[in-house]
Amino acid sequence: MIPVPLLVVVMGGWCAVYLTDTLLKLSSTHRIRYESWLASRGLMLSPFHVRWQTTAFNRLFAYCARINPRAQYLWFNSGLVFGVVAMVGSVVLLTRTLQQTLAQMTTDSPGVRGQQALQVIPGVNLPTSQLAYFFIALLLSGVIHELGHAVAALREQVRVNGFGIFVFVVYPGAFVDLFTTHLSIISPTQQLRIFCAGVWHNFVLCVAALALLFLLPLFLLPMYSTGGGALVTEVVQGSAADGPRGLSPGDIVTGLEDCPVGGVEDWSSCLSRLSQTPQTGYCVPGASLQPSWAHGRAFKRLDGTMDCCSNNSLTDLCFSYMSPQGKNSRGREYACMPVRKMVSGTQVCRSDGDCVAAPPHAAAGVCVTPSLENRTRFIRVTHPPNTHMLFVGFPPHLQYAVSLTNFIPRFGFLHLDLPVFLETFCKYVVSLSGALAVVNSVPCFALDGQWMLNALLEATLVTVVTDRQKRELIGFFLLLAGSALLAANVALGLWMVTAR
């Protein structure tokens, strides 16, 4: 659900802005001065929408359009090809997404549910803590998109009246104002280069952010090292990993039981493996399994597993083991023992055969296994130089309780979260810039796809369908179909996100 305080702030802010704007425009003493102030700064206000436009960047756009004309010709022709391919690809993608959404609605299949990820709604399926990443990445993607249009237009001798930024409710965006008379007299191919430049630059930005994401360890190598473990950046308060003997920001996790952890990916794979395999055991000296350990009477839990410790015990755990040979063997036995003392510095095992003593020790060990409920696991978390953190619970809970990163600072003054900020921002840029490229390629009214389709039909059908009105009619029905496809995806996607 959308947080109520955030909704109140947004609605209250817009109401205050609109009320102030209305009062100033109705004022006989301030109206002229206020409207002159808005016009001089290129500001326009309307309900839930503010827009700013300037000509300050026109020289920059013109300079960019003059850089290496031959290379730019190849660049924007590549954009033209990409735009046409993306227009077809976006229709195929939206069609498949619509089929998957309908299948999910009818079958409620978990496999299909995982594929539905087109709708991102701040406060609903986007954490409020990451709103800054979302809006900055969205604004950057919009600016790069419009920069492509502006430079391509100036290359084709189309005047740029100005560049602007707007905010609609909470969503930021950018735009360029092109001189439509110049735009209408150039050839359809030239128009297509201009219209495709936006989605082309979004695609390039997406690829650049993806490359930066993969090369980030190399760029940060002088300041951060990788491969030495997973660095803890945050621990959820009150979780199983919190506490005096738990994990803390700055700890470096190097192992989970006998599974080495060299980074976040190893951490996730180790937890997945430990949750899917039987509980590991620990080699302890046979002499420690004497009656002096105060064996408890084992009793069955509701799921059929055995327990032998008091429910009030916080330091003891029930262990099971096979009776040592030569004693009155009754098969598997159970003992309630101090867990930290039992497992500290001991070797993991699966059976007594793994605990064969090596010279010069004479006595062989016994493999004892924590007796836990079916999906519960006992896990030793290695984070030197501290002692092991001992976790008892469902392994995915440990994954949700801790935030980690692959990057370990080489110097004490470096911020732990800097690589996390860069990684997260790059991921948002990849997602949002790629989404803008896909959505704007759709042949839909009011999107770039509308003008891309019209220019493409004029460039390709002029010899086949000589009547201009017939070409426009074909374009209208194609745009109508594309608009319906996009609207159906958005409507059903919003319903899936908010209703479930």
Q: Are residues 331 and 351 in the same domain?
A: yes
Phi-psi region of 238 (alpha: psi -120 to 50; beta: other; left: phi over 0): left
Q: Are residues 280 and 397 in the same domain?
A: yes
Select from 304, 268, 282, 309 the least CA-distant residue to 390. 282
Whether the bond between 3 and the residue before it is cis, its omega within 30 degrees of 0, is no
pLDDT along the chain (500 residues), means of 10: 77 93 91 93 92 95 94 97 97 94 72 46 67 93 97 96 94 94 95 97 97 95 94 92 91 93 94 91 77 59 80 78 61 82 84 71 74 89 92 91 94 91 95 95 95 95 90 96 94 75
Which residue's entry shows tokens 């980074």?
263
Q: Are residues 426 and 406 in the same domain?
A: no
Residue 157 to residue 164: CA distance in whole angstroms: 20
Of the three residues 395, 414, 433, the one that is the final residue of a domain is 414
- The contacts of residue 410 (CB under 8 Å, 6+ apart) are 222, 223, 224, 225
Q: Are 366 and 284 in contact (CB under 8 A)?
A: yes
∠ CA 353-357-362, nearest 5°, is 130
According to the model, what pLDDT value does residue 117 have?
42
Q: Are residues 277 and 407 in the same domain?
A: yes
Q: Are residues 477 and 443 in the same domain?
A: yes
According to the model, what pLDDT value does residue 115 have?
42
Q: Are 201 and 148 in contact (CB under 8 A)?
A: yes
State the sign of the Cα–Cα–Cα–Cα dihedral 462, 463, 469, 473.
negative
Number of domains in the chain: 3
Please report whether residue 53 resides in a domain: no
Whether the bond between 291 and the residue before it is cis, its omega within 30 degrees of 0, is no
* Burial (Cβ within 10 Å: 0-12, 13-18, ≥19) of residue 26: exposed
Of the three residues 361, 385, 414, the one that is the final residue of a domain is 414
Q: Are residues 404 and 446 in the same domain?
A: no
Please report whether residue 49 resides in a domain: no
Please report whether residue 223 resides in a domain: no
Residue 372 to residue 390: CA distance in whole angstroms: 14
Positions annotated as catalytic residues are 146
Please report whether residue 150 resides in a domain: yes
What are the structure tokens assigned to 488, written together?
A: 């159906």
Please report whether residue 46 resides in a domain: no
* Burial (Cβ within 10 Å: 0-12, 13-18, ≥19) of residue 18: middle
Report if pTM > 0.75: yes
The whole domain housing 494 covers 58-218+422-499
Q: Are residues 261 and 316 in the same domain?
A: yes
What are the structure tokens assigned to 149, written together?
A: 């249009």
Phi-psi region of 36 (alpha: psi -120 to 50; beta: other; left: phi over 0): alpha
Q: Are residues 237 and 311 in the same domain?
A: yes
What are the structure tokens assigned to 151, written together?
A: 């430079």
Of the three residues 373, 396, 414, the one that is the final residue of a domain is 414
Q: Are residues 246 and 331 in the same domain?
A: yes
Q: Are residues 442 and 475 in the same domain?
A: yes
Give the gyration radius of the chain's Cα atoms: 32
Query: What distance, in Å, lies between the first and last C-alpha atoms of the chain?
Result: 11
Please report whether residue 436 resides in a domain: yes
Please report whether residue 404 resides in a domain: yes
Strand locations in 226-364 (E): 230-235, 252-253, 255-256, 259-260, 281-285, 299-300, 306-307, 316-322, 332-338, 348-349
What are the structure tokens assigned to 71, written together?
A: 């290379």
According to the model, what pLDDT value does residue 6 have?
79
Please report whether residue 373 resides in a domain: yes
